[in-house]
């Protein structure tokens, strides 16, 4: 969170708080293009990333280590897992994916906006929790998170269709997140 605030501040300083129009057609095509003039490229990227990270988390030692560290860092360290190294790798992967998401957003909007993506970190956490990931760690899956993304987007679309103002949507999403966390905690308590 601290680094996020630092980077936000740098973006505001660099841009002067102003949007910058992007005119490079190749760059814009990264987020708005189509594969075979049928499938939007962001959908292609999503499918590839889900496959890669599902494999990485379920079929590799690194994935096993990530779940173990998330479940109990101290136990993972005592069992010989290099927790600091795996934390670093995980943070680098997260940063690379966040950068890629930023490129896609800028490409899709055809502008560089210092405020684009503000608040999206909470949507990501909400989608993960709704999809079954435990905030206490060690539990979750890519497909569950994908389901959480779809459910959260359906809820947002319903709010838009009924004309609910955006600030009320934030309140409603916050309540949904709290409900998902309480449900998550109740499930964890039964274990």
Q: pLDDT tens across 21-64, in order?
A: 888 888 888 888 888 988 999 999 999 999 999 999 889 998 88
Specify the pTM. Answer: 0.76
Higher pLDDT: 188 or 25? It is 25
User: What average pLDDT does the chain have?
Assistant: 83
- State the number of CA atoms in the 13 A half-sphere of 38 facing the CB: 1
Distance CA 91, CA 97 (A): 10
Length of the chain: 191
Q: pLDDT tens across 94-121, in order?
A: 889 988 988 898 888 888 777 777 778 7
Confidence of residue 191 (pLDDT cuts 50, 70, 90): low
């Amino acid at each position: 969170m601290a680094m996020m605030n630092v980077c936000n501040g740098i973006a505001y300083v660099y841009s002067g708080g102003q949007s910058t129009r992007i005119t490079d057609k190749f760059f814009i095509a990264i987020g708005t293009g189509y594969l075979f003039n049928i499938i939007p490229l962001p959908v292609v990227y999503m499918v590839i990333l889900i496959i890669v990270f599902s494999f990485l988390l379920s079929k590799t030692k690194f994935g096993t280590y990530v779940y173990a560290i998330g479940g109990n860092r101290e136990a993972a360290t005592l069992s010989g897992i290099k927790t600091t190294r795996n934390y670093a790798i995980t943070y680098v992967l997260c940063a690379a994916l966040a950068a890629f998401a930023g490129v896609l957003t800028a490409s899709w909007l055809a502008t560089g906006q210092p405020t684009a993506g503000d608040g999206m970190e909470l949507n990501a956490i909400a989608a993960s929790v709704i999809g079954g990931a435990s905030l206490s760690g060690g539990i979750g899956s890519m497909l569950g998170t994908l389901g959480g993304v779809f459910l959260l987007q359906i809820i947002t679309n319903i709010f838009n269709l009924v004309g609910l103002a955006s600030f009320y949507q934030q309140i409603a999403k916050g309540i949904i997140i709290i409900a998902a966390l309480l449900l998550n905690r109740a499930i964890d308590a039964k274990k």
